Structure formats: structure tokens, C-alpha cells
């Protein structure tokens, strides 16, 4: 029997109790009826996808949103059962769910455990109630504490906490307080992202203008927050393994590592993104159209912006996604995948950024320096669309449309 290929599954739940003021994710308020109908359609999609992808087995499942924990425990269990019925799932697969403080209770957590969920990601963002209010979050810090205690009582031993720096009026002191409060709880994983003002959000109207931006921490302050995060988290036994992600040993998020290391992933549900068989696409983003797709007949109407990736696209992606990981990218792995020398192919970008002190070579690894992590977007730009887009240059690579 031929060995199955590794696949990661992302399941999108596009519902939230109310919209946070900075958020541009595909999510919104809805009725229980709409949620029920969506879950039925999602399960139809999972069935149909499982049938057309028999050559894969799932190494991780990530239920994200939105706020998946807004659904009942039984609804989540039904979704996961549908996955198990239609895909081969590795015995030690990482199965995560994103939860919002204030939407969890002991019964839901029991269902999660029964369903095989072994990792929780709690969207806290800040341990300061004023900041939470400003962000438009539905919960207080105490609500979060309650959810966290419930999760521990339900024996979840792999918990991530999301935190956000760069919040309007946030000072280094306040950020440090948030970090310390969270660290005292001893979670296994912390994601520390900085706020991005997204166009079209209430925050863009408030803080997008030159005047509005004055309320945001300046560039230097943000850099100090980043440095402080690393120092404090390392003191508490965490290792930074990606630009914004820290974990205790062995608790790195395997699902996200898959994204950064080029594992194929399938996104199911509204607007979910996929990278599969050298193609990239996302699912229909309009709920009425998503609901109208006859999943059992033809999945093609679901796929939007289907792009065939060239070998050059994949090589560049290997570099700028892989470099997000602090261990860097391996020239040996690159050679195994593409049969070419990474250091020759990207010689200009590597020479330029090592001369600037942003990259360092430790053969066969290439990685960002501390300074390079601060200026990572500048480095990544040097690996983006720099190779010739001529398939004939890479004759060994069979690109089969599906």
C-alpha cells in the first residue's frame, strides 16, 4: 500500500458574539438557525473533500474563526466526527480549537476532550480591562481567568494564549504587566502579535489617519515591547520558535509549523485558504453562495482565485515562510525538495542581508539574526518574486492540474 501524504486541515467557523473593533477576519454575528445550517453545509463539504483526497492523511486539525467556541460542544463534536469519518487522521494528530474567554463552560470542554481536541488557543489579547474594552472584546480579564481555570480543570495540558501589543495608548509598562499576569498562569504557548490597523475597520477610522496614529505606540516603543517579550518569556522557560510565537519545549504549534514549512493544507468552510497539489485557492467568501454549493456534486464552484504555483513560487515561499522560524531554513532540505543549491539561487538576497547583519549562515542553515527578526519584512521582500517564472528552467517538476 502506498504511503499517504501529510495534510493539515483548517476548519473555519465564521461566527462571533460581536465584532471586535480592529478585526477584519471573515466573521460576524448570526442566529442559531444560521449556525445550524452552516454546520450542516460544512459537514457536507468535509464529506466531499474526504472523497476526493484519499491519498492524504491528516497530521493536524485546527478549528478557527471567528469564535468556534460560540458553538455548542455537541456541534463541535459533530464536525470532528465528520472529519474522522471521511479522512484518515494520524493517531497523534494535533487537534486545536480557538476559544474566546466568556464563551467556554465545563460541558463544552468535556465535549472537546471526548472529540479528541488536545490543544486550546485562548484569545485573550490583553490582561488589562481598559484595553479589552477599547479593542471591543466581549470579555474581561476575570472572564479569561475563569475560562483558563475551567480548561485546566478539564485536564487540557496544551494551552496557547494570544496577546496583542501595539494597542492604542499602550505603554511598555502596561504590556509588561499583561505578559507577567499571563506568565504566572504557566501556559504552554504564547502568541504575541502586534496590532495591525486594517482598512475598513472602526480602528482604521479612529487610528488610521496621521492624527489618529499618535495614539499608537511609536516604532521604538514597539521594538522595546518586542525585546521585552523575548526577555521575559525566556526567563519563564519559553523559546521563541517563530517571529511572534513562543513555546515550552515540545509545545510548539505543529499546525502552524506546517504552514511555515510547506506542508499541504486544506481549508474548509467559508473563505478558508488552501494550498494543495501545487495550487493555492480559497473558498467562496459570501455566505449565501457558500451555502448554495452542491458539495456532493461538484466542489469547483467553491474554489476562488485558483492559482497554479510555479516552482519559483514554491522556492521563494520555502524561503520567506521558512525564515519566519528562528531555526531558519536548511540548504539540505531545499536541495532534497528542489535539487538546486539555495545559496546559489538566492545568492544576491543572502549576500545583501548577511552584509547588513540581518541574516546569518550556519551551514546548512540560513536564519534571521535578532536584528533581522525586527526587520523581517524587509528581508522577506528580497526573496519575493526574484526568480525567473519560467517552468522550463525546472524541467524535473511535474505540475499536474487537478
Nearest distance in Å: CB 378, ligand SF4: 28
Nearest distance in Å: CB 266, ligand SF4: 21
Nearer to ligand SF4, 164 or 345 (CB): 164
Nearer to ligand SF4, 51 or 142 (CB): 142
Residue 191 in contact with ligand SF4, rule: CB under 6 A:
no
Nearest distance in Å: CB 195, ligand SF4: 11
Nearest to 93 by CA among 102, 85, 104, 84: 84
Q: Which of 50, 66, 73, 217 binds ligand SF4 (CB under 6 A)?
A: 66
Rounded CA gap, 117 and 93, in Å? 9
Nearer to ligand SF4, 16 or 115 (CB): 16
Residues 319 and 340: beta-carbon distance below 8 Å: no
Nearer to ligand SF4, 49 or 67 (CB): 67
Nearer to ligand SF4, 86 or 103 (CB): 103
What track of x and - describes contact with ligand SF4 for positions 83 through 112 (by CB under 6 A)?
-----------------x------------
Residue 302 in contact with ligand SF4, rule: CB under 6 A:
no
Q: Which of 6, 25, 221, 365 binds ligand SF4 (CB under 6 A)?
A: 25
Residue 272 in contact with ligand SF4, rule: CB under 6 A:
no
Residue 27 in contact with ligand SF4, rule: CB under 6 A:
yes
Residue 19 in contact with ligand SF4, rule: CB under 6 A:
yes
Size of the site for ligand SF4 (CB under 6 A): 11
Q: Which of 7, 9, 11, 23 binds ligand SF4 (CB under 6 A)?
A: 23
Q: Which of 65, 101, 258, 328 binds ligand SF4 (CB under 6 A)?
A: 65
Instruction: Report the site for ligand SF4 in 205-234 (rule: CB under 6 A).
Output: none
Q: Which of 16, 233, 247, 253 binds ligand SF4 (CB under 6 A)?
A: 16
Residue 342 in contact with ligand SF4, rule: CB under 6 A:
no
**Site residues, ligand SF4 (CB under 6 A):** 16, 19-20, 23, 25, 27, 65-67, 100, 123
Amino acid at each position: 500500500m502506498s504511503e499517504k501524504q501529510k495534510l493539515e486541515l483548517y476548519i473555519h467557523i465564521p461566527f462571533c458574539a460581536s465584532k471586535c473593533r480592529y478585526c477584519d477576519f471573515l466573521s460576524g454575528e448570526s442566529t442559531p438557525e444560521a449556525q445550524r445550517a452552516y454546520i450542516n453545509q460544512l459537514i457536507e463539504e468535509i464529506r466531499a473533500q474526504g472523497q476526493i483526497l484519499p491519498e492524504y492523511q491528516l497530521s493536524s486539525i485546527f478549528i478557527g474563526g471567528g469564535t468556534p467556541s460560540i458553538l455548542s460542544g455537541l456541534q463541535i463534536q459533530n464536525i470532528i466526527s465528520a472529519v474522522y469519518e471521511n479522512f484518515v487522521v494520524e493517531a497523534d494528530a494535533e487537534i486545536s480549537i480557538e476559544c474566546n474567554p466568556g464563551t467556554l463552560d465545563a460541558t463544552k470542554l468535556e465535549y472537546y476532550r471526548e472529540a479528541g481536541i488536545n490543544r486550546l488557543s485562548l484569545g485573550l489579547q490583553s490582561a488589562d480591562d481598559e484595553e479589552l474594552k477599547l479593542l471591543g472584546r466581549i470579555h474581561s480579564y476575570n472572564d479569561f481567568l475563569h475560562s483558563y481555570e475551567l480548561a485546566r480543570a478539564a485536564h487540557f495540558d496544551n494551552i496557547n494564549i494570544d496577546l496583542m501589543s501595539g494597542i492604542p495608548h499602550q505603554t511598555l509598562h502596561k504590556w509588561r504587566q499583561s505578559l507577567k499576569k499571563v506568565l504566572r498562569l504557566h501556559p504552554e504557548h504564547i502568541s504575541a502579535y502586534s496590532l495591525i490597523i486594517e482598512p475598513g475597520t472602526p480602528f482604521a477610522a479612529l487610528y488610521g489617519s496621521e492624527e489618529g496614529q499618535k495614539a499608537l505606540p511609536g516604532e521604538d516603543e514597539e521594538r522595546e515591547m518586542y525585546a521585552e517579550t523575548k526577555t521575559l518569556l525566556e526567563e519563564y522557560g519559553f523559546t521563541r520558535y517563530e517571529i511572534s510565537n513562543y513555546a515550552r519545549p515540545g509545545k510548539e504549534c505543529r499546525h502552524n509549523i506546517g504552514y511555515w514549512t510547506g506542508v499541504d493544507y486544506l481549508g474548509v468552510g467559508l473563505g478558508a485558504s488552501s494550498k494543495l497539489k501545487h495550487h493555492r485557492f480559497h473558498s467562496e467568501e459570501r455566505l449565501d453562495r457558500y451555502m448554495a454549493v452542491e458539495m456532493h456534486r461538484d466542489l469547483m464552484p467553491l474554489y476562488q482565485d485558483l492559482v497554479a504555483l510555479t516552482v519559483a513560487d514554491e522556492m521563494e515561499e520555502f524561503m520567506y515562510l521558512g525564515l519566519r522560524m528562528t531555526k531558519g531554513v536548511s540548504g539540505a532540505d531545499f536541495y532534497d525538495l528542489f535539487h538546486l543549491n539555495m545559496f546559489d539561487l538566492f545568492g544576491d538576497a543572502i549576500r545583501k542581508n548577511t552584509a547588513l547583519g540581518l541574516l546569518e549562515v550556519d551551514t546548512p542553515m540560513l536564519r534571521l539574526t535578532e536584528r533581522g527578526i525586527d526587520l523581517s519584512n524587509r528581508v522577506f521582500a528580497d526573496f519575493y518574486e526574484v526568480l525567473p517564472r519560467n517552468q522550463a528552467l525546472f524541467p524535473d517538476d511535474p505540475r499536474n492540474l487537478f
